[in-house]
Structure 1
Amino acid sequence: MSVEKSLEGKVAVITGGGRGLGKAVAAALIERGAKVVIGNTTESQGLATVEEFNTAAGAKVAAFKRTDITTYKDNIELFQFAEKEFGGVDIAYLNAGIAGNATDIIFMPPDDENDSRAVEVNTIGTMKGTKIAMLHLAKRGGGVIVTCSSTLGSNAVPSMSAYVTSKHGLNGWVRSFALLPQICNVRVNAVCPHFVETDMLVPNPDQLARGGPILNLVDKIPKTTVENVVNAVLLLIEDETRNAQTLLALPGDVIREQEATAPLPETFTPEFAQVMGSYAEDYVAFHKKELEDYLKVYEEKYGNKD
């Protein structure tokens, strides 16, 4: 059965798109008519995936650029590359992340690089990608950014403290953008899968050498499917009412919005409520001007010159 070309003419940038969830989302977007640009740290993997997509389509529907999402330089070059290849960017799926070094670092020897790695990639790397994606989508007239978080962005599992921390931070980042569409017509959401059957769940040699009960837990915990996660991502992309949401993709092919945290009644006073009445309007006006000014600076410094 053919799929409706609902994304015909759209261009998507996908980080971590060479395998797993990123590759599956890329395939779904291409099937719906989009062109995709894949950013991946492993060059051979990214090139092979792009060749696979282009060969199957009999046309150039995908392109690759090696990308380290922890640097602004690589994020900027990735989105510039997408503009050169396909004329602009409408969709960003910021999928790249790590799990292997994101365990209980509290019981390990102090290590500046290892202990900050999960937050550096999963949180800060995605924040950097969001910031650059927003500028390129705003230039295009708007679009949607979907980040890849986790059910552990709100819950916690002992033995995964660093990973849990990184995804809690990412969820807070996404929930901060309720007013962004009014500024630049860009929506930001997070897909929050439960444990998924991908190669990220396969223990690496260091994990196997360390051992511990987490290995048995991951083996037995219920999983969601790659297809269910892809469907959740597509929902966040195609449903224009969805913004600043953390959408759960759960076992049993369940997709549902995570319940919002209620405001704390102790934090509201009549004076504060009065200020909040005009806050949204003031916020939008202030940042519209900021974005307008900064886009000129960004284009002057980083815009494509050819």
Structure 2
Amino acid sequence: MTVINEIYNYENKVAVITGGSRNIGKNVANALIEKGAKVIIGDILDREGQKTVEEFNSRVGKHVASFLHTDVTKYKDLMELFQLAENTFGGVDIVFLNAGITLDHDILLDPLDDEQDEKIMNVNTMGIIKGTKVAVRHLNKRGGGVIVATSSALGLEAYSYTSMYNASKHAVVGWIKSFEHLPSVCNVRINAVCPYAVETDFLKQFPKPMVRLTQSINSIPVDMDTVIKAVILLIEDKKRNGN
């Protein structure tokens, strides 16, 4: 793993995390808080989200985390989430666009249903696109910052049985690779983490043939600590952009 020569100071840094109530989002939020940052968590899982921030605040002994119900497919919700970060902690420095779903991951032979067929693209892809647009506007107020998006190894290669999920995550990778110019425009870097399957609730929703295939090839599930380290690397390494 790349060695970061310049120490990244998390003190007084504020992170906005979508899909942060559990799994990868929650674990990254915890790692950032342990390093000294404050976090704002957005999720549609209200009970889990509120419980997560209460857990963080109780453990640290002060207010370091807040939660807001957030549908990442809606600009209104995203704008309110980032505004909460500004109102509560003064601004935004780090953004982790992590919200995603695996439901309806292969719809080819399903009924012709507009809402069902568009849902995974709206959450996994448009949620990242809309989140990026809102994030850049807020990071610019602080003089710059960094965005990390969650894609997938299935955004780099494709397996059978997960066609819509493959497409949604390939689109995220294409989006991330489009911003070589971004640091020179507004001092914002954007990267994506692309793990193989991680031992989370999401893994249970994938079809068993695909899970068995990827396990045999890649010795997954991937350890959560590996994913956290990858996200932290993409936050800290100032040479990485569009990666």
TM over 0.5: yes
Q: Partner amino acid for 1:189?
A: N
Q: How far did residue 108 of structure 1 move?
A: 1.3
Deviations 1:248-278 (A, max 9, x none): xxxxxxxxxxxxxxxxxxxxxxxxxxxxxxx
What is residue 29 of structure 1 aligned with on the other side? 32
In structure 2, which of residues 209, 212, 216 is the aligned counterpart of residue 213 of structure 1?
Answer: 209
What is residue 165 of structure 1 aligned with on the other side? 167
What is residue 48 of structure 1 aligned with on the other side? 51
The answer to whether the 8 Å contact 1:201/1:218 transfers is no
The answer to whether the 8 Å contact 1:196/1:224 transfers is yes
How many angstroms apart in 1 are the aligned matches of 2:103 and 2:68? 24
How many angstroms apart in 1 are the aligned matches of 2:185 and 2:215? 45
How many angstroms apart in 1 are the aligned matches of 2:98 and 2:22? 10
Q: How far did residue 240 of structure 1 move?
A: 0.9
How many angstroms apart in 1 are the aligned matches of 2:231 and 2:221? 17
How many angstroms apart in 1 are the aligned matches of 2:203 and 2:214? 7
How many angstroms apart in 2 are the aligned matches of 1:212 and 1:62? 37
TM-score, structure 1 as length reference? 0.74
- Is 1:187 paired with 2:189? yes
Gaps of 5+ in 1: 246-306
What is residue 225 of structure 1 aligned with on the other side? 223
Secondary structure of 1:187 counterpart: strand
What is residue 152 of structure 1 aligned with on the other side? 154
Deviations 1:47-79 (A, max 9, x none): 000000000000001001110000000010100
Q: Partner amino acid for 1:199?
A: D
What is the count of residue pairs matched by the alignment?
Answer: 235
What is residue 78 of structure 2 aligned with on the other side? 75
How many angstroms apart in 1 are the aligned matches of 2:78 and 2:109? 33
Q: Partner amino acid for 1:140?
A: R
Secondary structure of 1:227 counterpart: helix
Secondary structure of 2:226 counterpart: helix
Superposition misfits of 4+ residues, deviation over 4 angstroms: 215-221
The answer to whether the 8 Å contact 2:8/2:236 transfers is no
Q: Partner amino acid for 1:213?
A: P
Secondary structure of 1:157 counterpart: coil
The answer to whether the 8 Å contact 1:5/1:31 transfers is no
How many angstroms apart in 2 are the aligned matches of 1:212 and 1:50? 33
Q: How far did residue 218 of structure 1 move?
A: 6.4
Q: Partner amino acid for 1:123?
A: T
What is residue 238 of structure 2 aligned with on the other side? 240
Residue identity (%): 54
- Is 1:89 paired with 2:101? no
How many angstroms apart in 2 are the aligned matches of 1:212 and 1:171? 25
The answer to whether the 8 Å contact 1:101/1:114 transfers is yes
Could you say what the CA RMSD is over the residues aligned between the two structures, in angstroms? 1.6
Gaps of 5+ in 2: 1-6
TM-score, structure 2 as length reference? 0.93
- Is 1:200 paired with 2:202? yes
How many angstroms apart in 2 are the aligned matches of 1:73 and 1:22? 21
- Is 1:109 paired with 2:111? yes
Larger-Rg structure: 1
- Sort the Cα spacing of 1:94 and 1:162 in 2 relative to 1 into closer, same or farther, 3 A: same
Q: How far did residue 110 of structure 1 move?
A: 1.2
What is residue 3 of structure 2 aligned with on the other side? none
How many angstroms apart in 2 are the aligned matches of 1:219 and 1:151? 13
Q: Partner amino acid for 1:70?
A: T
How many angstroms apart in 1 are the aligned matches of 2:38 and 2:208? 43
How many angstroms apart in 2 are the aligned matches of 1:180 and 1:5? 20
What is residue 13 of structure 2 aligned with on the other side? 10
